Homo-oligomer: A and B are copies of this chain.
Amino acid sequence: MIGRRLVNGVEGTGIAADDRGLAYGDGLFETMVAVEGGLRHFDLHMARLADGCRRLEIPQPSIEVVADDCRRVLEGLGSATVKLIVTRGVGPRGYAPPDEPTVTRIVMAASAHSHEFDTSRPMVVQLCRTRLALSEQLAGMKHLNRLEQVMASAELRHSGMDEGLMLAMDGRLVCATACNLFLVRSGRLLTPMIRDCGVAGVMRQVVLRAADTLGIPATITDLEPDALSGADEVFLTNAVRGIRPVVGVSGIGQYVGNEVTRRLIEHLAPGSA
């Protein structure tokens, strides 16, 4: 299950106990999928990482170096996930970022369960009680401050649910614990704006681009939870799991339609893109 790990390119090393990634969640991550040796949407993952590094003022590791790390951890693995963590590195005690940080770069591979990639497996989800706090300064980034997602995921334990939908503190419907959210209503895609909470998912971007190519109109807007009741189709997206149809939201609705979701899945299936 657990594959190779590189820390700043060195195999088998641990992380320093005073790394700011651990101390403060002062860093970013990306989880990518490798299929037949190639990393899917590597450019989009690197673009999001670059944006996060710029916003947090963390020096961005070279893309060539990251790509090389990924190649090394993937050697000999078939389908796998690769997780990249970039932190502001070690530093003296205190929140203040060092003037010239030396980033820590971690690349880990894990062979993936085939069911994770099986987009035909529909999901049943519930609404989580844990809400997303609002902060424009942190929204969109895949940073290492993820206690909200941890607490929301803990709600799903022993529930039989595949995922949990999350509302913002002000009640807007935003995403799932580890996925972005799309609704389809009257042939139109709807997905929540990521402006003050949530992660700007790579697969979300891929789906919006695919919709454009396919001539499916899309609206990126604030959504209230009752939008779920009026939806014809609901699906979740995530870089590892792709597009996953939702057949039911516990206590809210069931979705039998799948026309738009199917078109997107087929368009993005390996070999069709």
Taking beta carbons and an 8 Å cutoff, which residues of A are in contact with B? Answer: 1-2, 5, 7, 13-26, 29, 31, 56-57, 81, 83, 85, 87-88, 92-97, 99, 106, 108, 110, 130-131, 133-135, 137-138, 143-154, 156-157, 169, 177-178
> Would you call A153 and B26 a contact (CB within 8 A)?
no
Given A16-B14, A145-B145, A153-B96, the answer on whether A85 and B137 have CB atoms closer than 8 Å is no
Name the CB-closest residue of B to A31. B93
Distance between Cα atoms of A9 and B13 in the complex (Å):
19
Given A94-B153, A95-B150, the answer on whether A17 and B17 have CB atoms closer than 8 Å is no
Distance between Cα atoms of A146 and B87 in the complex (Å):
13
- Provide the residues of chain B in CB contact with A94, threshold 8 Å: 153, 178
A267 CB → nearest B CB, Å: 27
Q: How many copies of the chain does the oligomer comprise?
A: 2
- Provide the residues of chain B in CB contact with A147, threshold 8 Å: 24-26, 56, 138, 143-145
> Would you call A152 and B93 a contact (CB within 8 A)?
no
- Provide the residues of chain B in CB contact with A143, threshold 8 Å: 147
Given A2-B18, A144-B22, the answer on whether A153 and B95 have CB atoms closer than 8 Å is yes
CB contact between A92 and one of B1, B93, B146, B178 (< 8 Å): that residue? B1
Distance between Cα atoms of A174 and B136 in the complex (Å):
19
Given A14-B14, A15-B14, the answer on whether A93 and B81 have CB atoms closer than 8 Å is yes
- Provide the residues of chain B in CB contact with A93, threshold 8 Å: 31, 81, 83, 110
Distance between Cα atoms of A73 and B188 in the complex (Å):
61
Given A16-B15, A138-B147, A145-B146, the answer on whether A152 and B23 have CB atoms closer than 8 Å is no
A228 CB → nearest B CB, Å: 22
> Would you call B14 and A150 a contact (CB within 8 A)?
no
Name the CB-closest residue of B to A144. B25
17 examples of A-B residue contacts, CB within 8 angstroms: A1-B92, A5-B17, A15-B16, A15-B17, A20-B150, A22-B22, A22-B87, A22-B144, A23-B146, A24-B146, A26-B146, A56-B150, A94-B153, A95-B149, A95-B178, A131-B135, A144-B147
CB contact between A150 and one of B22, B24, B85 (< 8 Å): that residue? B24
Distance between Cα atoms of A106 and B23 in the complex (Å):
11
> Would you call A57 and B154 a contact (CB within 8 A)?
yes
- Provide the residues of chain B in CB contact with A148, threshold 8 Å: 135, 137-138
> Would you call B146 and A95 a contact (CB within 8 A)?
yes
Q: Identify 20 new A-B residue pairs, CB closer than 8 A, beyond the known A17-B85, A19-B22, A96-B150.
A: A15-B19, A18-B108, A21-B22, A22-B85, A24-B145, A25-B145, A26-B146, A31-B93, A56-B150, A56-B151, A88-B150, A93-B110, A94-B153, A95-B146, A97-B150, A97-B157, A99-B157, A131-B137, A138-B148, A145-B147
